[in-house]
Every structure is written in C-alpha cells, then in structure tokens.
Amino acid sequence: MNAIISASELADGLTGDNPPVLLDVRWQLSVAKAAGEPPFDGRAEYAAGHIPGAVFVDLDRELAGPPGTGGRHPLPDLTEFGAAMRAEGVSSGTPVVVYDGGQGWAAARAWWLLRWTGHPNVRVLDGGLPSWRGALSTDTPQPAVGDFRPRPDAAGFLDADAAAALARSGVLLDARAGERYRGEVEPIDRVGGHIPGAVSAPTTENVAVDGRFLPAEELAARFKELGVSGDSAVGVYCGSGVSGAHEVLALAVAGVPAALYVGSWSEWSSDPSRPVAVGPDPQ
C-alpha cells in the first residue's frame, strides 16, 4: 500500500463504500517569533476551515509526551494515545488519512505513530491542505468511537543507544538542515552537530517546491546516493522526532523500511556524556 494519497484519490475515497477517517494535524515548530507575531494555533486554523469530516489532532498533546529528558517530542503514553485515537474515530478496520498545512512533518508524525502501533492502513495527503481543491468546512464532526488499540512494533523504534549503534552498523540519516548537522548553527538545542557516523539528509530535499514528494524512483536514487543500498538497516533522526518521521515516510514512498529515533537530537544533545561530531564528515 502506498504511504501517500493524492487529493483527487482522497476525494474519490470519501464518497466510496469505506471512507477514511480524516485527521487534521496542523502544527508548526515553536521557535522564536518576530515581535508581536502570535504563535501558530493549529486548532484555530482547523476551526477556520478544514476538509469536511476531518477531526483535529493536537500534535503536542496527543502525538507526543511532555518535553523532558526524552526530548522535546518524546513518545506519548500509548494508553492515552490509543484513547485519543479511538475518540477521534480511528478503528483498525477503517482506513485513515492524515494531513497538515502542507509541510508534511506533523502529518508524517501521526502516520508514523499509527503505523508503528499497528494500524494497517494509514496514508498522508501528499501536499497537505493546500493540495485540496474541494470545499472546506467549519463544522466540528462527532465521530463514532473507534476500536483502535496500539500494539507497538519494536523494529520501527530507536532509542539513543540503538541509534548510535546503527550509525556504525547500518545507515543513520540526519533529517535536519545541513547547517545544523554541521554544527554551524543551533537555534534550539544545547549544542550543535550530529551523532557520530550519521549522514546528512535534509528532509526538505525529499519534496518538490509545491510540498509534494518527489517520484518514488527519484527518492530511491537520492537515498542510494546517501548509502541506502537495501543491504543494511536504516534509521532516521531529526531535532525532536517530527521532521524525521517525514523522512521515514519518504523512505517508505521509495520502498525502504526505516526506524525512527524519536528522541532525536533534542534528547541526544541534552546529555553531555554523549559524543558530538561537527562539520560535513559523518565521523
């Protein structure tokens, strides 16, 4: 099953015999704003207009646990995550489509969590809400409670030790911007740089200017150049496990399974005992 869905395919699916549950995960990274600029409010954006039938999902509250030693967006409590998904209408036998404002990172985080915890049919709207050509709604749906129960797959998850080991035994991709990987700038975390052995692979290079993913064959060629041969395990990390999920999604589009280090650089860099590499060389 393809991990992404086009807007036209979604429109057809919504009128079909088994329409998907729609999840709106609009979110933006909270960084310093210009003086007087209000912070991004995904729920307000949702209320102003969303794809008809979509239910809002709060990434910070439902798709992540409280920030702390595990990073800025650690795993949520899976009991609470399952309850939230059921309340939003998610059932194991019903397809799910997730979308965000177009960047794709937040939708990918929801996609990864649902897939990692065992949902068999989850896709991301390619290009997000800007790709949708239909009418928008301001109605708040009240979905029937679903039956989804999270059953996590250990193979798709990396902790700090597993990420460090994979950087030596397989391919560990760093999905952040190149200047953060090289340690030239670090706007958020304690120190700049990367996990020793990790390869720079900015997730922004997986999409075209319209925010849609590059064709599968182009993504496969890109990842091959980065050392993803199909013979070794692949993992991804980023700043806090959000944009990294988008790279895992890009790898899935290319036909490559990959694990996510959810704690990512926000967890790794918080511990002064962990090694840090700087510059363009992985080591």
Asked about 238 being catalytic, the answer comes back as: yes
Q: List the structure tokens of 241.
A: 């496990």
Q: Which residues, 6+ apart, have CB-to-CB distance to 238 below 8 Å?
A: 174, 175, 176, 203, 244, 247, 264, 265
Q: Residue 138, Cβ neighbours under 10 Å: how many?
A: 10
Q: Residue 146, Cβ neighbours under 10 Å: how many?
A: 19
Q: Residue 164, Cβ neighbours under 10 Å: how many?
A: 20
Residue 62's H or E segment, with its range, is: helix 59-62
Query: CA 248 → CA 143, 218, 269, distances in Å?
Result: 29, 15, 21
Q: Residue 124, Cβ neighbours under 10 Å: how many?
A: 29
Residue 5's H or E segment, with its range, is: strand 4-5
With H, G, I as helix, E, B as strand and everything else as coil, classify residue 277: strand
Nearest CA-CA partner of 26 in 123, 128, 132: 128
From 238, 253, 256, 277, active-site residue: 238
Catalytic annotation, residues: 238
